[in-house]
A and B are shown apart, each in its own frame.
Chain A
Amino acid sequence: MTWVSACKIEDIEQEGAVRFDHGGRTYAIYRGPDDSVYCTAGLCTHEAIHLADGLVMDFEVECPKHSGAFDYRTGEALRLPACENLKTYPAEVIDGEVRVALS
């Protein structure tokens, strides 16, 4: 597992998400209502849509295409049409820098 610097914490709105591409893969990085940060695979498990474009509310992200929803802390699919959980990756903030651990 490699820790990679992804962005500044201020680049992500509270209850917001940004897209992060690295090593030919795409991820979504979230900032929760309590300023905690999380990282998941970037595409909805239903139809490969970028989740960073979706609505983030509390600890839930809603896919912008069909409104499938996930808990971005655990990756758990919460609502149809998404049935498969998202992969999650460790994330942390060091000196205002968001770092994610990618395999």
Chain B
Amino acid sequence: MDDLKYGKRNKRGDWAPNDPVETAPLFAFPPKLMAILKWLPHYFFPWNVIFALSAVAYWAWVIPPVETMRTLAIGWALWLYAVNAVCVFLFYGAFELHLYVLKRQENRFKYNGRFPSDQKNNVFWFDRQNVDNMLRTFLSGVTIWTAIEVAMLWAYANGYAPWLTFAENPWTLALVALVVPIIHEFHFFCIHRLIHVPFLYKWVHSVHHNSVNPSPWSSLSMHPVEHFLYLGTAFYHLILPSNPVLMLYQLHYAGFGAIPGHVGFDKVEVGEDKLVDSHSYAHYLHHKYFEVNYGDALIPLDKWFGTWHDGSPEGEARMQERYRRRKEKLAARKARTEVRGAAE
């Protein structure tokens, strides 16, 4: 597969797509019906369908009976932790094995030309990005994921969350299912912008940003506070007329859905000539440049707040202008501090 048909590679081996990232046409004004219809299949396939089906499979085969969930107990909580851990290991591990261990597509479509394993970095536990990222994923990530899942299922089982049935409310629940990704994006933008506030960035979010060159295991490599905020997207279903399966979809959208954004490749080659888009360039640029693209491309929140970088020269110029202003502000503050220090 010739990735240079789709993008270009610079001197240091970093690949970038030819076309700038586009936001979904959902919020365009005036509305663009044809564009929405053309875009719609990408909304469902493959990622959203995978996460939705995983929620259905959980409900069918993993989640305990409602009677059991009425009482909080370590037994079913541990069972859910074990299943979540195995599923994360298999799902994340499949991308890691295919793209980073066996390197089956080498560096084709890879944004950062280098592989994290090529260099040690003492910012990580044991100086290894993968070891650090995996430990954070299983010690804190899957644990908090499971805790939220248990709390929400217990709330449903005891009537503390509005539980509609598919038989009686198919259209309401279909609508909720459709907006699950939109809820996720809104929630993600809000908490992500919040943890970029300097104090929270320093103590919480910097852990995730240590992975400047993200790989699959970076997806849930976060500080526990960030895990709670990020996976807390399930709590919307405490007030939303919904169903436990859709709550699980919301949780899986966050938990398993973190993968595409951190896979590090623009496209994953499947077989000889099939490509699956990861839609991760916007988030890769966030990891590279830190203060752009707090959300993804589903809701144009970054456009509205002036932090959008689509990978184009214009996007780069906008970012550089903000960066220049920030440097000037910091330099002025430093100069004032020095003058004050000299005066004292």
Do residues A55 and B289 form an inter-chain contact, with CB atoms below 8 A? no
Q: Are B12 and A57 in contact (CB under 8 A)?
A: yes
How many residues of chain B are within 8 Å of chain A by beta carbon? 19
Min C-beta distance of A58 to chain B, whole Å = 8
Q: How far is the CB of A57 from chain B (nearest CB, A)?
A: 5
A66 touches B288 (CB 8 A): no
- Separation in Å of the B285 CB from the closest CB of chain A? 12
Q: Is the CB of B212 within 8 A of A67?
A: yes
Partner of B209, one of A58, A66, A84: A66
Enumerate chain B residues within 8 angstroms of A8, measured Cβ to Cβ.
Answer: none
Q: How far is the CA of A55 from the CA of B11 in the complex (A)?
A: 12
Whether A83 is near chain B, meaning CB under 8 Å from some CB there, is: yes
Tell me if A4 is interfacial: C-beta within 8 Å of chain B: no
Of the four ranges (under 10, 10 to 19, 20 to 34, 35 or more), the interface on chain A belongs to: 10 to 19
- Checking B121, B210, B330 against A84 with a beta-carbon cut-off of 8 angstroms, the contacting residue is B330
Q: How far is the CB of B253 from chain A (nearest CB, A)?
A: 29
B323: chain A residues at CB < 8 Å are 79-80, 83
What distance in Å separates the Cβ of B333 from its nearest Cβ neighbour in chain A?
Answer: 11
* In contact, B123 and A81 (Cβ under 8 angstroms): no
Q: Which of A79-103 contact B (CB under 8 A)?
A: 79-81, 83-84
Residue A39 interfacial (CB < 8 Å) = no
Residues of A within 8 A of B3 (CB): none
Q: How far is the CB of B317 from chain A (nearest CB, A)?
A: 14
Residue among A55, A65, A83 making CB contact with B326, cutoff 8 Å:
A83
Closest Cβ neighbor of B331 among chain A residues: A84
CB distance from B144 to the nearest CB of A (A): 26
Q: Which residues of B in the span 231-273 have a Cβ within 8 Å of any Cβ on A?
A: none
Chain B 320-344 interface mask (CB, 8 Å, partner A; 1/0): 0001001100110010000000000
Beyond the given A80-B289, A80-B290, please list 10 additional residue pairs across the A-B interface where CB-CB is below 8 A.
A57-B11, A64-B119, A65-B123, A66-B123, A67-B212, A67-B213, A81-B290, A83-B330, A84-B327, A84-B334
Among all A-B residue pairs, the 6 with the closest Cβ atoms:
A80-B290, A67-B212, A83-B330, A83-B327, A57-B12, A65-B123
B residues bordering A, Cβ < 8 Å?
Answer: 11-12, 119, 121, 123, 209-210, 212-213, 288-291, 323, 326-327, 330-331, 334
Interface of A toward B, CB cutoff 8 Å: 55, 57-58, 64-67, 77, 79-81, 83-84
